[in-house]
Structure 1
Amino acid sequence: MDIGKIIKFYREKSGMTQVQLGKGICSVTHISKIELGQTHCSNEIITLLAKRLNINIETEIKTIKATNLRLEQWLEALIMQWDQEIETIKQELERSDHIAISGRLTFYKLLKARYYLLHEENDRAGDILSDIRSQDTLLSPFEDNFKKHVLGILHLRNQEYVKAIDSLKSIHNDEYNNSEYYYHLAVAYDNNNGKHMAYSYAVKALKYFKKTNNFLKVIDSEMLLLILQSQETLHDFHDRLKKYNALIQTCELCNNTPRKATVLHNMAYEYFTRSDYKTAGGLYKQSMVLKEKESDKYLLSLEGYIQSCARGKLVSDEELLKDAMAGLHSAKRMNASLFIHLFNLTVLLINSDEETYVSYLKDHALPFFKLTGHIFLINRSQKELFYYYSKTEQLDQAVKVAHTVLEH
């Protein structure tokens, strides 16, 4: 334990100068070296300095050790997603004066960034990471890998999947000892069309979460594996439905509404891909009811619901347009670029303005999807453009799109 940091912290807190603290005890130079940890001093001097500062060194050391333990416990709670424990420890640490002298200030900042990401406060997490980079602080191997993990999660939240992969792949697991990042790598690969890598990392993540009894993340990993299996033509659909229903029951037992909403959304997409738009629309609707309206997850289900209703002709165009405009207004309030593009396209589609739809898709939406690495939306958009150009006998444009698809 660096006693010098304790001495310096309480000297500055009391408003003393080094001269005032050392008067009659030791020289200013010695005080400076003690605070910098550059010298060893006797217990007698430490006792005299502590008495002048009105502190008990042994008590301070015990408190710092307890604070460091609490930081480790906060990380565990964040990984396990123990909501009550997360908030309790957060409030304790916010009241603590000892983080600054514990030598774990950067670790604490990274934990706060992780907390903000858990609560979808991406900008606040990004500000913390920018602050850490700007200070050019020397990080321990664990902190450096933890920073890469948190940065990878931030890129995932911002739909920057290539950047997420780059950050997460640079983690050294032997230094980090937290294989939770396998799950985030699997999600990043899935969204970047790396299905085999996604499956491999999802299996590793599931094994790790079962080993550590992280039941909520087991649900997440099994959901991801179901999504990946749905893309295999030989995998049985009815077998997956049984697993989806089992996951819903698990979510209900864990009293975890957000995960239940996600399972319902994923089931809806399974039915949507099989052109069962009525069932898909109903499941999307159930998922929406369980989500906060002003959230990316709600808008994603809303877009799926509108697409299902439009393709299945389940409701009137007037009602669909009303829902699409509501989604667009929410996306603009949230400054959610992805959903602004998706709902702009949806509005044009409902209005049967095909020419403007294609123009917007080609000039605005598709470039954005490419910039942010949304492989599914890129593929879907390119198919739409190809079919449109073929239908309208713009063969040069159709061939150009086809070449782009083949190159990738």
Structure 2
Amino acid sequence: MLEGKIIKFYREHQQVKQKDLGEGICSTTHISKIERGLTEVSKETIQLLSERLGIDMEKELENYKSIDSLLKEWHESIIKKLQTKADSIKTRLDGIHLLQIQDFYRTYTLILARYHLFSGENQLAKRLVEEMETWSGLSPYEHNMLLHIKGIYLMRVNHDFFKAISVLKEIRLDDYSNRECFYDLAVAYHSIHSNVLAYFYANKALQFFVEKRSFSRMIESEMLMLLQLEQSDDSNVENKEYQRLIDMAEDYELEHQRALLHHNYAYHQLRKGDFKSAGEYYKKSVNTRKPQDPNYLGSLEGYINALTKEGRTSKDELLQYIEEGLALARKGSNNTFYHFFTLHKLNVNEDIKGYYKYLEEKAYPHFQEMGYVLPMEHYGVLLFDYYMEKGDEGKANFYAKGLMEKFRKNNQFV
């Protein structure tokens, strides 16, 4: 009997003893049986107990019956990255005390952790992850959802992509129907420069988002697949592939996805050596975002890089952009982009000695610590060339060793 569950929840929530709740209405034994659903009870008794607890039983029953569908709808909006809808459902749920009842608490907490990660509230997510790790007796679905959350957390907060992959690959899809985890695996493999596996899992994610008819996630998956193709030596990614996705983002008014596409297409043009076009698309991405957007710094850094390589922007203007980036990186405690903008500043000021000193002592160790494969490879080559030109073969070999590890194979030749 739902009424009994609800009465027990509010009695315990208000720290009321059974004998005090039942005084003048019914016995303590009868209250116990009502709460456990072991006896029939009249509407008049339920009404009296509800009034003593200060609750509207009809409203509470309505809330109880709506929670399950609301939680599913909330989770679905997070999977589809519908921020406005997710925020709206969260507000509705905040007004329902019954979420703390045993029937819903674990599911609610799991989805709340996803919501915090989705909204960039990493410290709130961390506290929930730490709480959930103490839980016992998890259902198979709860266990696998927790693995998914931990994998996302390891990527986005700890930047431990190898551990994230290990955790995400423990997920059993027979017990957890959310194949969105394929996308997170793709991102993790992309982050360690494992292009084949990143493409493989992005393609599996794409199929899932097609089934969900989530156009924003379809675009993100295709975009991730394009990035993997670009990294291959025989890449033949055409401009029209990006333009198709940009048009799709515009048709569905997906501003975030359009900004991402402008950013990635700019990088595509940068790799081709079309610095003018790269600068134009990085600028579009910058203009679409707000400075507090975590992706703003990435587009600003790309814009500075394209302008510097094009060589048509004045030193003063470049330094103005760089100082903006440094200020935002300091404000957001973003050490990675602080290092990038500092390297840009040293480069624009033509301080070659200072550039390589900072790269070796500050930036490169940071990229190593964070496991950023592409920056490590790029700057490892720069440092190797720098020390070879200086005739310091010892230091050159140190960076060459790091680069050679990438190509080490476990072959068994004689």
Q: TM-score, normalised by structure 1?
A: 0.90
- Correspondences of 1:386-401 after superposition (within 5 Å): 386-401=384-399
2:7–2:49 CA contact under 8 A, matched in 1: no
- 5+ residue gaps, structure 1: none
**CA drift at 1:356:** 2.3
What value does the CA root-mean-square deviation take over the aligned residues?
2.4
Equivalent residue number for residue 50 of structure 2: 53
Which residue number corresponds to residue 318 of structure 2?
320
Query: CA contact under 8 A between 2:2 and 2:61: conserved in structure 1?
Result: no
Show the counterpart of 1:204. Answer: 204
Relative distance call for 1:137 and 1:59 in structure 2 (3 A) is farther
**Residues of 2 paired with 1:171 and 1:47: CA distance?**
49
Deviations 1:231-271, CA, capped at 9 Å, x for gaps: 22333233xx1110011110011101111111011111111
Distance 1:65 1:2, change over 3 A: same
Please tell me whether residue 86 in structure 1 is matched to residue 86 in structure 2.
Answer: yes
Q: Deviations over 1:335-361 (max 9, x none)?
A: 112111211222222222222222222
Count of paired positions = 402
When structure 1 is superposed on structure 2, of 210-219 and 177-186 the one drifting more is: 210-219
Are residue 77 (structure 1) and residue 86 (structure 2) matched?
Answer: no
Deviations 1:204-255 (A, max 9, x none): 11111112211111100110111111122333233xx111001111001110
Q: Does 1:43 align with 2:34?
A: no
CA contact (8 A) 1:25 1:45 kept: no
Aligned positions of 1:243-254 closer than 5 A: 243-254=241-252
Correspondences of 1:164-313 after superposition (within 5 Å): 164-238=164-238, 241-313=239-311
**Whole-angstrom distance in 1 between the partners of 2:250 and 2:15:** 56
**TM-score, with normalisation over the residues of structure 2?**
0.89
The alignment partner of 1:139 has SS state of coil
**Alpha-carbon displacement from aligned partner over 1:53-88 (angstroms, at most 9, x marks no partner):** 336867644531211111111111211233443233
Give the equivalent residue in structure 2 for 1:21: 21
Where does residue 371 of structure 1 map in the other structure? 369
- Percent identity between matched residues is 35
C-alpha spacing 1:170/1:33, structure 2 compared with 1 (3 Å): farther
The answer (yes or no) to whether the contact 2:192–2:373 under 8 Å persists in 1 is yes
Render the CA deviation track for 1:144-202: whole Å, top value 9, x for unaligned.
22222223223332333223222322211111101011011101101112111111101
How many angstroms apart in 2 are the aligned matches of 1:56 and 1:324?
A: 59
Task: Report the Cα distance in structure 2 between the residues aligned to 1:375 and 1:203, rounded to whole angstroms.
Answer: 22
Aligned mates of 1:380, 1:4 — CA distance in 2? 65
Deviation string, structure 1 residues 320-378 (Cα, Å, up to 9, x no partner): 12211210110010011211121122222222222222222222222221221111111
Query: How far, CA to CA, are the matches of 1:139 and 1:369 in structure 2?
Result: 37
**How far, CA to CA, are the matches of 1:103 and 1:299 in structure 2?**
43
Shift of 1:394: 0.9
- Per-residue deviation, residues 84-110 of structure 1 (Å, max 9, x unmatched): 432331221111122112622232223
| 1:247 alignment partner AA | L
Aligned 8 A contact 1:68 1:102 in 2: no
Alpha-carbon shift at residue 16 of structure 1 (Å): 3.1
In structure 2, do the counterparts of structure 1 residues 46 and 146 end up closer, same or farther at CA, with 3 Å as the change threshold? farther
Q: Which residue of 2 aligns with 1:151?
A: 150
Aligned partner of 2:98 in structure 1 is 98
8 A Cα contact 1:7 1:50, kept in partner: no
Which deviates more, 374-383 or 157-166? 157-166
1:122-133 alignment, distance < 5 Å: 122-133=122-133
CA contact (8 A) 2:229 2:237 kept: no
